[in-house]
Amino acid sequence: MKVGYCCLYGLANAGKSTLLNAILGLKIEAVSPKAQTTRYNVQGIYTDDEAQIVFIDTPGLHKPHGKLGNILLEDAEDAKDSVDVLLYVVDASNRQIDENVIKKVNAFKGPVVLIYNKIDKVGFEEGQKRLEEYKKRLPQAETVEMSALNKVNVDQMISLIKTHLPEGDLLYPKDQLIDRPTRFVWAEMIREKCMLNLDEELPHAIHVEITHTEYDEKLQKQIIYADIIVEKDSEKAIVIGKQGKKLSLIRKHAEHSISNFMQEKVSLELYVKVVEDWRNDPRKLKEYGYEDK
């Protein structure tokens, strides 16, 4: 059995979470066009007859905003240095090649695979020209041209990763997909629906905390209670919306996703709470599970 760790590395918005979802065939994580969507180093576990690959998805490499931003950036660097294979994911349609990130990728001592993603979004000639530019800068890397969104060449990537993994015993049971309590997945799904339904600036100030669950005998389904935590009263008003319409939309969408994920109908009870400036409060960051080092 080939067994090892793989890190998805690259700028925010390159498509790392989308790729992880394509690999696992499940939408387990928040994917959205906004930067800083990924807050945890979510591990996805891929297992087949020959190999087990543990994927670590890093928060995008962006300019850090405040304390939370800094923690996210450190996490990404830590994850990168402790894996067997580094997957450097880039957006083929992005004209800018980030020399700083390239330097960091080249500093990695193990094998690097350049995932040239979003090839569906860029013309063939332009795409190939830019790919050559990347190859020049990353002489050691192997390359996979990819459309994570359309699941094109995901298999090819898995095969390539396998060639670089050491022999070993399974790290996780065969049927386990994510190394993370279900609650986290529920919270991420709710947060994703918040982001999709709200305006640009607000979502980064949102944290979702699952408070408790209970089984309703009458309705014969599980009820999940969650707090949506924002930083200001004005934000609370936005999340709730006129006559509670926004919140009820978020609830409907999240209920749908979680029910699909659980393969049973569940109900959601959402409460919006204000915790002032939680993103810069070390105690709160710890309490909410964003590790502070």
Binding mask 29-68 for Mg ion (x = CB under 5 A): ---------x------------------------------
* Shortest Å, Cβ 222 to ligand GDP: 28
Three-class DSSP category at 268: strand
Minimum distance, C-beta of residue 269 to ligand GDP, in the bound complex (Å): 28
d(CA 112, CA 100): 16
Site string for Mg ion, 4-33 (x = CB under 5 A): ------------xx----------------
The minimum distance between CB 162 and ligand GDP, in angstroms, equals 22
Can you tell me which residue has the tokens 């109900």? 267
For Mg ion, the closer CB: 30 or 254: 30
Question: What's the closest the beta carbon of residue 210 comes to Mg ion, in angstroms?
Answer: 21
Q: Distance between CA 278 and CA 289 in Å, rounded?
A: 12
- In the complex, minimum distance from the CB of residue 15 to ligand GDP, in angstroms, rounded to a whole number: 3
Residue 68, Cβ neighbours under 10 Å: how many?
Answer: 24
Cα 280 from chain centre: 22
Residue 33 or 173: the one with the smaller Cβ distance to ligand GDP is 33
Give CA separation, 146 vs 12, 90, 97, 192, in Å. 17, 10, 17, 24
149 binds, among Mg ion, ligand GDP, none (CB under 5 to 8 A by kind): ligand GDP
With CB under 5 to 8 Å by kind, the binding choice for 13 among ligand GDP, Mg ion, none is ligand GDP
Comparing CB distances to Mg ion, the nearer of 20 and 92 is 20
> What is the helix (H) or strand (E) element at residue 137, kind and residue range?
helix 124-137
Pick between residue 76 and residue 266 the one whose CB is nearest to Mg ion. Answer: 76
Residue with tokens 């005998």: 217
* Contacting residues toward ligand GDP, per CB under 6 A: 12-18, 31-33, 37-38, 60, 117-118, 120-121, 147-149
DSSP 221: E
Sign of CA dihedral 36, 42, 47, 53: positive
Which residue is closest to ligand GDP by CB? 15
Are 178 and 34 in contact by the 8 Å Cβ rule? The answer is no
| Contact (Cβ atoms closer than 8 angstroms) between residue 79 and residue 126 | no
- Closer residue to Mg ion in complex, CB, 17/52: 17
Closer residue to ligand GDP, CB minimum distance, 91 or 227: 91
Output the smallest distance, CB 8 to ligand GDP, in A: 7
Give the residue with the Cβ less far from ligand GDP, 33 or 166.
33
Instruction: Using alpha carbons only, give the angle 268, 270, 273 rounded to the nearest 5 degrees.
Output: 165
Beta bridge partners of 85: 6
Q: Give the total residue count for the chain.
A: 293
**Closest separation between CB of residue 16 and Mg ion, Å?**
5
